[in-house]
Amino acid sequence: MRSLIKFIWLFISLLLLTDSSAFAADFLSRSQTPAWERGKDGEILRRDSEGSSRGRSRSMMTRRSGELTRGLIRGNSQGKDLSASIPSSMVPLIPETSGLTSMPQPSLLWYVSGSWPDKMEFRINTFKADEPVLDTSIPGPSSEGIYRIDLAEYNISLKPDTEYEWFLTIVFDENDRSADYFISGTVIYSLLSDEVSERLANTPKDRLYAVYAEAGYWYDAIDHLSRQIDADPGDTALRKYRAKLLEHVNLPKIAAYDMRHVSGN
């Protein structure tokens, strides 16, 4: 599985020899850039508002987010009509195939195009399991942006080499789940090799995302990079680099969100 979902990033080690701005300029100037590999069967595992999906059997997952009609008159459990507040886009920041993490308690990142005034349902389970590992609610987003769910906050640890699914859902009617608006993705906790562990130990903390990316650990690379952007939102080099990562996993619209910040629009 590991070999099927690695980055082919032979040149990314240049980051370790240059500052982030110089690396980003070199990275963006290349006409040929590597891509995230799909599995042999080409199956897309990411489910988002762009319409990518893998078949689901549970009744709560009968409608993917991109199919929800914006004009539906739906209310939440308190009887409020929230149909006008539905975000036009929700996307998990993950590859189209399963993404790797070296952390038993990784962070899960997702993008939303606008605010949602009510709570959202967060669920994680092993693939095709009937009972979830965690089924809880989180506050809705306050605005457009990239958000993070830290599994450590819920005391949830993944088992190595096990595929997990995670779901983030806007529930309109708890008694009728057929119109749920949700996104989902998969994650696999895979232990680091001794070689990668040594490289991480000998790499400056602000460059760790490059080592994770080269080794194929998407979740760790995107989270580490995103935390640096959160700490310094004005760093255009980091924004451009994250935009390129998102383009590599076929998320050009989310990459455009980062580039808007670079251009100041």
pTM of the model: 0.78
* CA neighbor of 27 nearest in space, from 5, 10, 47: 10
Determine the pLDDT at residue 46: 87
Determine the pLDDT at residue 57: 33
Determine the pLDDT at residue 223: 97
Determine the pLDDT at residue 195: 95
Contacts of residue 215, Cβ cutoff 8 Å, sequence gap at least 6:
6, 192, 193, 196, 199
CA distance 195 to 166: 30
Is 199 strand, coil or helix? Answer: helix
CA distance 91 to 114: 12
Query: Which residue ranges form the domains of the chain, and what is each CATH number?
Result: 2-39+194-263 (no CATH), 59-189 (2.60.40.2550)
Determine the pLDDT at residue 85: 73
* CA neighbor of 183 nearest in space, from 120, 138, 133, 233: 120
Count CB-CB contacts under 10 A for residue 14: 13
The string of pLDDT tens digits covering residues 223-262 is 999 999 999 998 999 999 999 999 989 899 999 999 998 8
Phi, psi of 191 (to 5 degrees): -65, 145
Residue ranges, the chain, pLDDT below 70: 1-42, 49-84, 265
3-state helix/strand/coil string of 71-140: CCCCECCCCCECHHHCCCCEEECCCCCCEEECCCCCEEEEEECCCCCCCEEEEEEECCCCCCCEEEEECC
Q: Where are the beta strands (DSSP E) in 174-247?
A: 181-189
Determine the pLDDT at residue 108: 98
Determine the pLDDT at residue 82: 56
